[in-house]
Structure 1
Amino acid sequence: MQHATAADGCRIAYQDHGTGTPVLLLAGQANNHHWWDVVREDFDAVHRTIVLDYRGTGQSDKPDEPYSTAGFAEDAIAVLDDLGIERADVYGTSMGGRVAQRLAASHPGRVRNLVLGCAAPGGPHSVERDASIRRALANATPAGAREILLDLMYTPSWLVSHHGPYATLGDADMPDYAKRRHLVASHRHNAWDVLPDITAPTLVVHGTDDTFNPAANAPVLAARIPDARLHLIEGARHAYFEEFRAVASPLVLDFLA
């Protein structure tokens, strides 16, 4: 891992692989760069891929102070600056899609193409997950929470034949305070007012059976971003990019090309 230094001095760990047009891959909430382990090679074949550990995760610094999706976006810019990359494709999923919104709106000249996967605009215009899911996760034991997350991420039929390890269930080594900071950052995201400022060609991707971040957010997000394209993957849940890799990776690569 290499390290970039953010404006406030926080050290952000990242990896840089391959050659070609750079693509920055942004992971979900309370996850590090391993979120992309299963599918990263699909992009390595034709792109220079950059993945990072958000502050609070992995090998990055873990300050106990408020985090935000806008702040995570600035950390990502620090990584691109450290690499001397002026423009990159940006592909963010889950909270990474929220971070990518902020990055593309605040730094339009740095984003060549934008892909927002299983994301939401945040704020009052978002379609919230059912309250029963929030209650179940809040009250579950660690083992119980893991089973709930697996069901939200993947279909039962896929889980029967794929027994892990799963890279999408969170960074197990994160301090509890950092997990809380990530949760608040994602919850407080509201990019509604700046989404029309996004100038990069944008693809919005979502699984039709995603209840963790309801699929109804996808058309809302796509309609708010000028000329955005929308693609729903039938039958997919939140980790569509992994379980439906054979559909999702070619779809995104074709868009980026």
Structure 2
Amino acid sequence: MHSFRTPDGVTLGVEHFGDEAAPLVLLAGSTTMLSWPDPLCEALAHGGRHVVRYDLRDSGTSTTIDPEAPAYTLRDLAADAATLARGLDDRPAHLAGIGVSGMVAQVAALDHPDAFSALTLVGTRPVAPGPVDDDLPDHDTAAMGTLFERAIPDWSDRAAVAEYAAGGAEILGNDPAAARATAERIFDRAPGTEPSVQMANQLGMVFSRLDCTPRWRERLPELAIPTLVVHGRRDPFFPVGNGEALAREIPDARLLVLEQAGTAIPASAADDVATAMLALQTS
């Protein structure tokens, strides 16, 4: 693991795969870098890319101050992505976001077009957390009821946190064993066991407190870089109609639907996603 310090003093935890002289693929965490599975990172590196995944602020080994009251905005997170891309390579990067970091990636590509050459959006939507646009499918009500009615774990108990993540994975259409293992890794990488810090790392709850204005959906037709939209058919959190909307509204975007996936990229789909991303980068 390494770190990158931005000019305004923010430290971003980063991990490198592949040849650092190769074209850069930058993977924004959702909120931690471990939302990008190892097999996908390795497949992209084997495809001739310098892959860097990183933690957003208030997660992983990045700057953590107060996840319950972030003093930054979605635009600041987008600027972090651009700063990191420029600091790692003189050439524009292929930027990818998953879940909430897909929102970061959209805004970063719109606000900093010179920093990016391609865009991949996985399991995300074109509007901020909160009320959804009338034409977009909202969270699946039954699944969210089951998800949020569960007893909150003791966030200082590693085993309880991992079990909670495994249970949530079943509801979200993901692999419980993989989710348990990832939760344990996230727990070990968190800067402390304070409940707010562990919750921010495990659930990305900081986004519910983040200023995500102004809207950006209406600007999506401005995107002029090759774009891949990946979405799980079984995703109950951001149902697949959100990915379909992104693919319609971003010029010439390609849509890849993972028929057996929920909110996460399953290991079985890593090669297919990597192949699509690699083709996008060279198109």
Q: TM-score range by the shorter chain?
A: 0.7 to 0.9
Asked whether 1:233 is paired with 2:234, we answer no
C-alpha displacement at 1:49, in angstroms? 0.8
The secondary structure found in structure 1 opposite 2:56 is coil
Provide the residue aligned with 1:114 in structure 2. Answer: 119
Q: What SS class does the counterpart of residue 167 from structure 1 fall into?
A: helix
The share of aligned pairs that are identical, in percent, is 24
Structure 1 residues 163 and 199, CA, compared in 2 at 3 Å: closer, same or farther?
A: closer
Residue 171, structure 1, aligned to residue 186, structure 2: yes
- The answer to whether residue 59 in structure 2 is matched with residue 57 in structure 1 is yes
Query: Can you list the C-alpha shifts for 1:55-106, whole angstroms capped at 9, x where unaligned?
Result: 1111111122244432222112222233243411112211221111011111
Distance 1:241 1:11 in 2: 29
Alignment length, in residue pairs? 252
Match of 1:80 among 73, 81, 85: 85
Q: Which stretch of structure 1 is more off in the superposition, 89-98 or 59-68? A: 59-68
- Shift in CA distance, 177/70, structure 1 to aligned 2, threshold 3 Å: farther
Which one of the candidate residues 224, 245, 269 is aligned to 1:244? 269
The letter for the 1-side match of 2:258 is I
1:138 to 118, 135, 148: 148
SS at match of 2:181: coil
Asked if the contact 2:123/2:231 (under 8 Å) is kept, the reply is yes
Which amino acid in 1 is paired with 2:232? G
The answer on whether the counterparts of 1:129 and 1:212 sit within 8 Å (CA) in structure 2 is yes
Report deviation, 1:211. 1.1
Q: CA deviation at 1:245?
A: 2.0
Q: What TM-score results when the alignment is normalised by the length of structure 2?
A: 0.77
Does the Cα contact within 8 Å between 1:93 and 1:119 map onto a contact in 2?
yes
Give the distance between the partners of 1:212 and 1:169, measured in 2 at CA: 22
Change (3 A) 1:8 1:176: farther
Contact 1:12-1:55 at 8 Å conserved across structures: yes
Q: Is the 1:152–1:210 Cα contact (8 Å) retained in structure 2?
A: no
TM-score calculated relative to the size of structure 1: 0.84
1:129-208 to 2 correspondences below 5 Å:
129-141=139-151, 142=153, 145-154=164-173, 165-167=180-182, 171-172=186-187, 173=190, 175-178=194-197, 179=200, 180-185=205-210, 190-208=215-233
Q: CA RMSD in A?
A: 2.8
- Specify the code of the residue in structure 2 equivalent to 1:51: R
